Structure 1
Amino acid sequence: MSNENKPKGQNSKLGDWFRTFDSLKIMKWSVYLFFFLFLVLPLFSVFLVSFTGQPVNILGSLVNPDIMATNIERLSNASLEHYQSLLGGGTYFYALRNSLGLAISVSILVILLCLPLAYAFARTTMPFKKTLAALCTIPLIVPTFISAAGFIIMFGRTGWVNTIYQSLGFDGLLINAYSMTSIVLIQVFFFFPFALWPMVAAFKIADMSLEEASNNMGSKNWTTMFFVTFPLAIPGIISAALLIFTVSFSDFGTPIILAPDGLNLIVVEAYREISGFFNWAGASILTIVMVAVAAIFFWLQRYITKNKDYGTLSGKPKGMRLNDSKWVTRSLLVYTCLILLIPMFVLLSVLVQSFATTWGADFLPRGFTIAHYATVFTRSGDNIMNSLLLAGGALLISMIVATLVSYFVVREKTSKLDFMSSIPLIVPGIALGIAYIQTFNTAPLQLTGTAFLLIVAYAIRRMPYMIRSTMGTMMAIKSDIEEAAVNLGASKLVAIITVVGPLMLPGIAAGSILVFVTVIKETSITVLMAPADWAPMSLMVFQNLLRGEVYTASAMAMLIIVLVIILQTLANKITKNSLY
């Protein structure tokens, strides 16, 4: 039928469709497809496996009738058997119990440790605040498995701290490096900045007029501090505690290095089930449990932050009179320095070992050399390049997807996309890695064991950092600028690329460095998914530690730390972020 003979209504509908259709719709649905394919589908697949006990490959069913028949048979035999075994006791139950106990203990200790620190930074004239604030961010830079290695140098059987302890006439070990106590200490002293800065913000925004009223009524400073100042910061304190719980519960680097054989923790058990035994039932159950626990506590953290406000309404501006008592400021200075001793000594131990010829049962190494760094650059140059290429690939994906997500969420109020882009925040790295291995191990997307899937996993896991950065910038860009370009004849896509894009560069730059930094030091996904010919620096450090090549591992660990510090410093300059 020719165009002339087609009904006018049909031509009109087709013309309207073409006029309303633009490339932005393709991009929006492409973003939805990306999150569905690489986030929703893998997690849903693992959810099904937790009932079947055997792999269920949804994508394979679309192209292979045999796989579809196998999947149907396995789904028909689905049961709650594996969940019942989890709740009925045994290894998985004790692993979950131990992990919950660890996370709760670390959360409580971190909050108690950070209360004086937060008050010192927010409400006092404590000396050297700039320097101490910078030092308090360093624990965030260090990958946890490297901090665990430093702890072994200090508190191992021949560690220098235990050597000093024994030289003073004491028997045994001051602290056993391979114990739950060591895991708790590492997490407390290297995770506390996650809670410190939100608590500093909570102390800063609390209404000072209530404290002044308390003092005017005759209360002493310490009474006001405990009964007025601290209660005003309760929402921030609770939110920080829940955040620490999630971070501790999901941590892989510390327990995989320090957990003794008799101590079961959920992230370690999940890794062993999939990497050592290919036990899909066990790995899937543990994955679902990890995601569920992390989701519950992440939701609680968001709920408290959103719906609780202990401030007061006032027409007067809030003043900020800092506590300048010499006794208070000097005491807090000493306390802050003591808290920083552990992470600083850990880093110093790794640094010294990276130059040591041999070091054991002595306070200092028997000699020093740069041979370990020479070995790293000659033998592991490919690993350094792999880290940069993998991080660069993840960064490229993050930049494109995050920019589009920010645009659609801010301009078109796409709440579903905002929700989907937040899901990676609650998915532990080990859980995501297990989901990917199970989902992409057959056609049509047989990607397991490839560098591409590792890059996508990095991008998905760290993309929320980029999205939060670009979304803040996007909110500051008025839609009038974009509309003016459209009125002058540009399409929406051209307006975004030529007008909105350049204005978003500060947010993109800040988010890019944050993504790059976190990918460089990523451990859990790397250990589980990295192919042998694409092994990055973090995997080589991990493998060297397990093989006992501690000197080479320390040298490469220092290279990672130096690279991360440089990038983090650059990020702080771009964002002009003040932490004190």
Structure 2
Amino acid sequence: MSRFQFWRRWGGLDLLRWGMGLFFFVFLLVPLLSILLVSFTGEPVNLFGSLTNPSILQSTVEKLSGASLDGYRSLLEESRYYNALLNSLKLSTGVALWVTLMCIPMAYAFARTDMPGKKWFAALSTVPLVMPTFIAAYAFTLMFGQTGWVNHVWRAIGGDGVLFEIKSMLGITLVQIFFFFPYALWPMVAAFKAADGALEEASRNLGAKSGLTFTMVTLSLALPGILSAMLLVFTISFSDFGTPIIMAPKELNLIVVEAYREIAGFFNWSGSAILTVVMLVVAALFFWLQRLVVKGREYGTISGKPTAIRPVQHRGVITGMTIYTGVVLIIPLLAVGSIFLSSIATTWGHHALPNGYTLRHYATVFHSSSSHIANSLILAGGALLLSVVLATFLSYFIIRRGATKLDLLSSLPLVVPGIALGIALIQTFNTAPLQLTGTALLLIIAYTIRRMPYMIRSTMGTMMAIRKDIEEASVNLGASPLLTVMTVVGPLLLPGISAGAILVFVTVIKETSISILMAPSQWAPMSLAVFQNLLRGEFYTASAMSILIIALVVALQLLARRLTKEQLY
């Protein structure tokens, strides 16, 4: 085979594969390694500059020679850092436990009963997913703050003061419970549906009552799914930045807020690096535990065709679960309604309802913040295009070529909290020769790395359904493997690409931590504009832009559902 024939047959794809590996090495592995080194040296480390400039290399060597564990000792000795870690662990543990307990009845109702309105309840349970968490936190302050409408109602019926202090650990916990529960609900629904009904039927035939059968048999069969969902919620809660940054009082230290303050407020590279490494370790540990539960604790009972599960017919049980599900789902709806009322209010706070109504806040948004809307669309579009290219070829390499290393690299962002990734990228690309901090390019790359795993999982599922003989026929007719992937495999991947692309676009529009930490002023997206308006006290304008974000996300999710014909129940 001539050199030209070899290059034509294999060179293009091989070069592309190495290029993707280089992308992850430069923009993911090196930043994470850099932040680890900074946690030991206490000073910024320029790894890329060390490769091109001898003086920078000498400086880096000197810094590394002085590496120590002093920073980690200070984490244990300095009460502020130590308390931040403990508070974050307490918050995440409490949220995970309460979400799990709250979702068990709902999941059972969706999976095992003919609950009326199930289709509507399923649709409403997606409402928390369309709201960025910092907007959800603001919505709760409109409801439960000192001048919130809930407390106006509370005082009107004879109550005193406020129901509870919203800017507290309790307030943060409630927001996360009511806006993270869908992450646990649907895996638990699947767990209840997957269990074979034969053991439950046998339990009833042996005389066990329904309550005992549910406790001893049904819950045991669903336990792996329940534990997996609980660990997932813990990881999401621990990494959440939007809720604490809005609601955490000054005296309540949380690790994600402390990391942000160290880098954005004090430019303390050592403190932010140490907190970032701690966040990575904790998130990775619980993500690993979640995978371990799924893979290592399968309580399988299905052999052959599973026994059909009869829906629960007890009217009292169905009525109770319907009421319970409705009560849980109405809280996020009231939060969205509160944001909408604030967006059309002339003034609000003296009474339970606004003093008057106007649309001028929306006019203000379109007049003065149109650039933020355009920025969001451009940045999300850039991340979308990059994700499509990477995910298309990555899924091909992983499924067809068994590229396990690329699979691992593409999954790694799942365990990296957004604030941690942002700090790592800022530290790595803050100096020459790759001085990208403060540019739209690095922001798009950060969005892509953070959200690309969702895209890859979507395209991998479609990739596995494509027969190999289609590719072989193209190659046999003279096309190179690269041309085959682009012209044959790519079009066949369009269903998975479409679903994943919209998911990436939606999550980038909602992205909070990276936008707040990394977006330059000239490229500020809508999420950053809302955050800045809240800090400036421009609450009505912030509410109007929040409604626009929610409306855009809802429209895109409806489009994704139409393309993929997903069923939520």
Q: CA deviation at 1:221?
A: 1.6
Q: CA deviation at 1:317?
A: 3.2
Q: Distance in 2 between matches of 1:354 and 1:203?
A: 41
Partner of 1:493: 482
Larger mean CA deviation between 385-394 and 216-225 belongs to 216-225
Q: Distance in 2 between matches of 1:519 and 1:323?
A: 41
Match of 2:278 among 272, 289, 302: 289
Larger mean CA deviation between 117-126 and 211-220 belongs to 211-220
Partner of 2:105: 116
Larger mean CA deviation between 166-175 and 359-368 belongs to 166-175
Q: CA RMSD in A?
A: 1.2
Larger mean CA deviation between 313-322 and 527-536 belongs to 313-322
Match of 1:362 among 351, 354, 360: 351
Q: Distance in 1 between matches of 2:551 and 2:531?
A: 17
Match of 1:141 among 130, 151, 171: 130
- Counterpart residue type for residue 439 of structure 1: T
Q: Distance in 1 between matches of 2:379 and 2:126?
A: 25
Q: Distance in 2 between matches of 1:83 and 1:317?
A: 53
Partner of 2:439: 450
Kindly indicate whether residue 19 of structure 2 is the aligned counterpart of residue 22 of structure 1: no
Tell me the secondary structure at the aligned position of residue 55 of structure 1.
coil
Q: Confirm or deny: 8 A CA contact 2:196 2:306 kept in the other structure.
A: no
Partner of 1:280: 269
Q: Distance in 1 between matches of 2:486 and 2:302?
A: 43
**CA deviation vs aligned residue, 1:444-500 (integer Å, no higher than 9, x gap):** 111000010000000000000000000000011111110011111111111111111
**CA deviation vs aligned residue, 1:213-253 (integer Å, no higher than 9, x gap):** 11111122222111111111000000000000000000000
- Counterpart residue type for residue 301 of structure 1: Q
1:359/1:16 CA distance change after superposition, 3 Å: closer
Q: Distance in 2 between matches of 1:324 and 1:435?
A: 54
Tell me the secondary structure at the aligned position of residue 126 of structure 2.
helix
**CA deviation vs aligned residue, 1:396-429 (integer Å, no higher than 9, x gap):** 1100011111000000101111000000000001
Partner of 1:179: 168
Q: CA deviation at 1:145?
A: 0.4
1:47-86 correspondence to structure 2 within 5 Å: 47-86=36-75
Q: Confirm or deny: 8 A CA contact 2:454 2:503 kept in the other structure.
A: yes
1:151/1:479 CA distance change after superposition, 3 Å: same
Q: CA deviation at 1:265?
A: 0.2
Q: Confirm or deny: 8 A CA contact 2:172 2:247 kept in the other structure.
A: yes
Q: Confirm or deny: 8 A CA contact 1:433 1:457 kept in the other structure.
A: yes
Larger mean CA deviation between 56-65 and 187-196 belongs to 56-65
Q: Confirm or deny: 8 A CA contact 1:410 1:474 kept in the other structure.
A: yes
Partner of 1:4: none
Q: CA deviation at 1:130?
A: 0.3
Q: CA deviation at 1:320?
A: 2.4
Q: Distance in 2 between matches of 1:245 and 1:318?
A: 34
TM-score calculated relative to the size of structure 2: 0.98
Q: Confirm or deny: 8 A CA contact 2:192 2:218 kept in the other structure.
A: yes
Q: Which runs of 5+ in 2 are unaligned?
A: none
Larger mean CA deviation between 214-223 and 447-456 belongs to 214-223
Q: Distance in 1 between matches of 2:187 and 2:444?
A: 31
Tell me the secondary structure at the aligned position of residue 445 of structure 1.
coil
- Counterpart residue type for residue 549 of structure 1: E
Q: CA deviation at 1:17?
A: 6.2
Q: Distance in 2 between matches of 1:275 and 1:444?
A: 23
Kindly indicate whether residue 195 of structure 2 is the aligned counterpart of residue 198 of structure 1: no
1:9-408 correspondence to structure 2 within 5 Å: 18=7, 21-408=10-397
Partner of 2:417: 428
- Counterpart residue type for residue 576 of structure 1: K
**CA deviation vs aligned residue, 1:341-395 (integer Å, no higher than 9, x gap):** 2111111100001000000131100000000000000000010000000000000
Q: Confirm or deny: 8 A CA contact 2:10 2:480 kept in the other structure.
A: no
Q: CA deviation at 1:168?
A: 2.4
Partner of 2:499: 510
The alignment-based identity, stated in percent, is 62
Count how many residue pairs are aligned between Structure 1 and Structure 2. 569
**Deviation >3 Å, runs of 4+:** 12-21
Q: Distance in 2 between matches of 1:111 and 1:149?
A: 24
Q: CA deviation at 1:189?
A: 0.3
Partner of 2:551: 562
- Counterpart residue type for residue 442 of structure 1: T
Kindly indicate whether residue 428 of structure 2 is the aligned counterpart of residue 416 of structure 1: no
- Counterpart residue type for residue 412 of structure 1: R
Q: Distance in 1 between matches of 2:135 and 2:42?
A: 35
Q: Distance in 2 between matches of 1:473 and 1:13?
A: 35
Partner of 1:552: 541
Q: Which runs of 5+ in 1 are unaligned?
A: 1-11
1:380/1:227 CA distance change after superposition, 3 Å: same
Q: Confirm or deny: 8 A CA contact 2:195 2:302 kept in the other structure.
A: no
Q: Distance in 1 between matches of 2:2 and 2:363?
A: 70
Q: Confirm or deny: 8 A CA contact 1:63 1:443 kept in the other structure.
A: no
Match of 2:562 among 555, 560, 573: 573
TM-score calculated relative to the size of structure 1: 0.97
Larger mean CA deviation between 13-22 and 297-306 belongs to 13-22
Q: Distance in 2 between matches of 1:130 and 1:345?
A: 20
Q: Distance in 2 between matches of 1:566 and 1:308?
A: 39
